[in-house]
């Protein structure tokens, strides 16, 4: 078993850190560029006294866990790694701990920062906060390990049961709905898991806001993190467009109309989050803030897809965009920039990037 462990580490863990060395360097630069070590300690202490605020770092940890899973999924499809399907031959008692060990190694950066959070909670004898940090990390590792284990022992893509497929076939099919049909029929597990995490983040932000009662920025931050959780759908939409919607490239559809179509798709895709958000905040916050907060994740998803037209990039490289955008906008929102200005501004930037890059992207494809 020791030999198997070493092979898997060299196949999945070591290449992951090699491929993302630049990502980690930039992340460390951002973290310790904006804030010094004493300030990180102060933040960790403040979080320990208000444990509901742990939902913010854990949302980022969840995005990081998704990044590790996506890398492993990509690595599994490489011809040189076809031997990974042989893991199914190991008995579950040996295979499951092995996968948990691999996922723990992949989560080391998140665990390192969690160590600071845990240390501060223990120093101040806040046992509940310490239990939340330790239990949250354990739950995240076990959940990610579950999906990684399921993927490594299942070489084929998962699909829906026929009854659910028949139900989704009854949904309307305008152009803006085609991608949502694709998600229901081909990526249902990803869709449901993402929505569960996204809604949990929003509910957590609302609960924190209700404890404070005056800081409306918390609501916008909740929707910002929700946009980060849903960011992978921009990459999926771009792949779907290139593979299944190539016919539309030959139709007289203007760039403005095409931009509007996928923006509407994201607006429809975020209906569950919008319903939960408005259901908990409609009578508690100004209308302009609510509209801006709802528009923010839609604008972010449109921005991420527009960036994809600049050049073809892998999922591992794409994840850098939502990670850094979320981190930067986090500080922008804390600077009291109105949510509606952020949403409108991001939509305009997205449209300009799309209008410039889509034509170049088409020329590249046609060549």
What is the tens place of the pLDDT at every residue in 88-146?
Answer: 777 778 888 888 999 999 998 888 888 888 988 998 888 999 999 999 889 999 999 98
pLDDT of 274 reads: 92
pTM above 0.85, yes or no: no
Task: Report the 3 state secondary structure along 126-174.
Answer: CHHHHHHHHHHHHHHHHHHHHHHHHHHCCCCCCCCCHHHHHHHCCCCCC
**Residue 346, pLDDT score:** 92
The pLDDT value recorded for residue 131 is 92
Burial of 348 (0-12, 13-18, 19+ CB in 10 A): exposed
> What residues in the chain have per-residue pLDDT under 50?
156-169, 171, 363-367
Q: What is the pLDDT of residues 90-106, one digit of tens each?
A: 777 888 888 899 999 99
Q: Compute the radius of gyration of the chain from its Cα atoms.
A: 21
| Alpha carbons within 13 A on the beta-carbon side of 17 | 11
């Amino acid at each position: 078993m020791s030999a198997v462990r070493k092979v898997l580490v060299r196949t999945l863990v070591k290449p992951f850190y090699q491929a993302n060395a630049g990502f980690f360097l930039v992340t460390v630069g951002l973290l310790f560029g904006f804030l010094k070590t004493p300030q990180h300690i102060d933040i960790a202490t403040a979080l320990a006294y208000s444990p509901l605020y742990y939902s913010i770092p854990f949302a980022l940890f969840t995005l990081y866990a998704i990044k590790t899973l996506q890398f492993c999924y990509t690595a599994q499809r490489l011809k040189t790694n076809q031997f990974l399907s042989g893991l199914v031959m190991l008995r579950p008692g040996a295979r499951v701990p092995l996968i948990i060990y691999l996922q723990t190694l992949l989560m080391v950066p998140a665990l390192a920062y969690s160590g600071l959070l845990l240390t501060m909670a223990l120093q101040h004898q806040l046992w509940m906060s310490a239990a939340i940090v330790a239990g949250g990390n354990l739950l995240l590792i076990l959940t990610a390990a579950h999906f990684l284990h399921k993927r490594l022992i299942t070489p084929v893509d998962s699909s829906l049961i026929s009854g659910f497929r028949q139900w989704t076939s009854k949904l309307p099919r305008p152009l803006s709905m085609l991608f949502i049909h694709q998600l229901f029929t081909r990526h249902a597990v990803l869709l449901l898991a993402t929505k569960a995490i996204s809604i949990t983040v929003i509910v957590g932000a609302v609960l924190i806001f209700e404890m404070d009662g005056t800081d409306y920025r918390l609501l916008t931050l909740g929707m910002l993190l929700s946009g980060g959780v849903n960011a992978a759908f921009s990459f999926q939409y771009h792949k779907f467009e290139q593979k299944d919607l190539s016919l539309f490239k030959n139709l007289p559809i203007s760039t403005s109309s095409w931009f509007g179509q996928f923006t509407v798709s994201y607006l429809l895709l975020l209906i569950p989050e919008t319903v939960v958000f408005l259901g908990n905040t409609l009578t508690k916050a100004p209308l302009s803030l609510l509209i801006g907060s709802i528009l923010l994740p839609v604008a972010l998803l449109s921005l991420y897809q527009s960036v994809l037209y600049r050049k073809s990039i892998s999922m591992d490289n794409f994840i850098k965009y939502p990670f850094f955008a979320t981190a930067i906008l986090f500080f922008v929102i804390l600077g009291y920039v109105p949510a509606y200005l952020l949403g409108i501004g991001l939509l305009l930037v997205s449209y300009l990037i799309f209008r410039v890059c889509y034509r170049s992207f088409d020329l590249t494809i046609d060549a």
